[in-house]
Each structure stands twice: as structure tokens, then as C-alpha cells.
Amino acid sequence: MPSPRCCDQPSMKWRQTRVGDRRSDIYVCSRCQHIDAMESWLVPLSPPDRGRCANCSGHLQLKEGNYRCDYCGLTSGKTRELHDNLSALHPSRNYLQAALAAAEMNRFVIALKLSTAAILWNENEEEQVLARAVRLQSLEGLGELDRALDEAYEWSTNGAPPLVWGVIADLEAAAGNMDGALAALKNGIAAEPENLDMWLDLAELFAELDDRGKALSAASHGLNSPESRPRALAVIADIAERYYADSMWFNAEESLKVAGDLQDKNVNLAWLRARLAASAENVGEAVQWLDCVLQLEPSHTEAQEALQKLRPKKKGWLW
Ligand SMILES: [Zn+2]
Ligand SMILES: [Zn+2]
């Protein structure tokens, strides 16, 4: 929603900035740096706790029958009112839904405030778990990775469900600690072996580390479910392509075979099978795989061209 045009090609995005103890979501054009909107707030950086202010993490003190924050001075009632106004960002006026919407738009200041409100004041346990995940993502978005990691590890020792390990793995990877990310995913899988998302996170991480064997073996777990299959096949294709690029054709073919009879149902895998067969000068097999590619994707021009080269011109009796 670029409002008044600031430059020829406005590219508006929410970004975060910080002035003193306040954090701001700013709506800024990344081309000309024109700032269209800014919202500045105190934020609760410390883990949510009944004794702390939801607005700023200050300490709550009982004064004249009211709990009042010793930092921002708001009473508990006023704090609640402030967050209720913020949750009106979302039609449901639900703290968690509004926090999710804010995080989606990279408005991490608002997302942090609303997810904290959801953790403190939502009764629904499932929503509280999601709210914790959004809060950690928001801390990361605000550049508070260390705080996010501390809070996530603390949560992991404190009744968190296994999904906490997926969140920790993301945070560790963002911090550049691949060993930490691997360890987290292994913990998560140990706690919930049937969690295919975590197996595929692991496969993608191994692929990033170019640990090809382990990437394939982790990806193979995702093949049996229609939801996770595309991600699993993408890892398999990626690893096989790397072997192919290294002229390690045997390994490339063995990698593709991990996909079993899904090879002729996926255009990337079939296309690589065709090129491998052509590299081995196995024309008949190459033609078969090219046919397969073109069945899956009739407009695949490289396969069309390869097939024209390989397939001898038809010499019917009329010509
Ligand atoms: Zn602009
Ligand atoms: Zn406060």
C-alpha cells in the first residue's frame, strides 16, 4: 500500500529501528528511504512473567490497591487496555491472531507486544504455545537473537512441546551456529520421531552443510506423506544434481533411487535421469526418460531439444 508516491518505483516495507528504550516499526521505501509511517513503543524484552509489566518488562509494584509498573508507570488495567487496542489490528481482536498477522508483515514490535499479551492472558494452552513461538520469532526480527535463544532454551527445560526444537534450530541457524541447529533438530526428532517437518528441516540443514548422505537419509522420511513429499523430493533432486555437476554419475543415480517409483512422477528427477542416461550413452533409456519428462511437463524445451537430437528421424514410406 504505497501511499503518496515517494519515488518512481516505491518499494514499501516495515522495518525495525530503535531510539533509546523505545522500538519502532517504520514503514519505509527501500529505494528512496522515504518514511511513510512510524510506530514507537516500549517493548517487553524479558520473558513474560506475572511479576513483570506486559508493556515494558518493568517490575510490578502494589500501590494503593493497584499493580503499577516501576518503569513505565502504567497500572495493570491500563496495560491491558493498551494491548486490547493493539489487538484491534485484527478483526478477531484476539491477541494471538493479531500477533501472527503483525509478524507476517514484519511488524515485530507490535508482534512482540501482542504475543506477550497472548502468553500472559490467553487461557487456551495451544494458543499459548503458538504465542511463545511468535514471541521468539519477533525477538529475532528485532535483532535480539541472544535473548530469543536464552528464552527458547529456558522454555525447552520448562514444559515446552517438541516444536520448541524446530524454533531453536531456526534461531541457531540464524545465529550461524549450525552445530546448535543440528543438535536442536535431533532433540526434536528424538522427542517426536513422527514429526516430518522436523525431518525435512534436518534434511535441508544437512544439504546446506553439503553432508549429502545424511541429507538423503533424512529426506527419505518425508516421502510417504503427500504434504511433505515435495520438500523431500526437492532435497533429493538438489543432492543428485550436485553429484551430477561433480561428474559423479553413479552417486547421482543412487541418490535419485532414494525417491523410488516417484522418479517418473517428478519432472526434476526424470530430467536428471535422462541426462544421466545420455551421459552413459544409453540412448534408449535416455529417450524413455525424456518422454517421461515431456509427459509431466509438455513445454520442457530442453527435453524437447534433447529428444530431437537423440531420436532418429522417422523415415516413413511416404518420405
Ligand atoms: Zn521511494
Ligand atoms: Zn511497564
**Cell triple for residue 193?**
520421531
Give residue 310's pLDDT. 84
In tens, the pLDDT along 110-122 reads 999 999 999 999 9
Q: What is the mean pLDDT of the chain?
A: 93
pLDDT reading at 319 higher than 50? no
d(CA 238, CA 261): 18
Ligand 2 centre distance from Cα of residue 137 (Å): 22
**Cell triple for residue 21?**
528504550
Ligand 2 centre distance from Cα of residue 77 (Å): 12
Ligand 2 centre distance from Cα of residue 21 (Å): 12
Give residue 169's pLDDT. 96
What are the two backbone dihedrals, phi and then psi, of residue 225, each rounded to the nearest 5 degrees? -115, 130
Ligand 2 centre distance from Cα of residue 236 (Å): 51
Residue extents of the structural domains in the chain: 1-41, 43-142, 266-314
Question: For residues 244 and 65, which has the higher predicted lDDT (pLDDT)?
Answer: 244
Give residue 51's pLDDT. 94
Ligand 2 centre distance from Cα of residue 31 (Å): 36
Ligand 2 centre distance from Cα of residue 165 (Å): 31
Proximal ligand: closest to the CA of 29: 1
With bands split at pLDDT 50, 70 and 90, how would you rate the model's confidence at 309?
confident
In tens, the pLDDT along 212-239 reads 999 999 999 999 899 999 999 999 999 9
Give residue 86's pLDDT. 95
Ligand 1 centre distance from Cα of residue 145 (Å): 30
In tens, the pLDDT along 8-57 reads 999 999 999 998 999 999 999 999 999 999 999 999 999 999 999 999 99
**Cell triple for residue 256?**
535419485
Proximal ligand: closest to the CA of 7: 1
**Cell triple for residue 90?**
485484527
Q: What is the average pLDDT across 174-182?
A: 96
pLDDT reading at 315 higher than 70? no
Contacts with 32 (C-beta within 8 Å, 6 or more apart), sequence order: 6, 7, 10
Ligand 2 centre distance from Cα of residue 177 (Å): 34
In tens, the pLDDT along 88-108 reads 989 999 999 999 999 999 999
Neighbours of ion ligand 1 (CB under 5 A): 6-7, 10, 29, 31-32, 34
pLDDT reading at 4 higher than 70? no
Record the pTM: 0.83
Give residue 285's pLDDT. 94
Proximal ligand: closest to the CA of 10: 1
pLDDT reading at 5 higher than 90? no
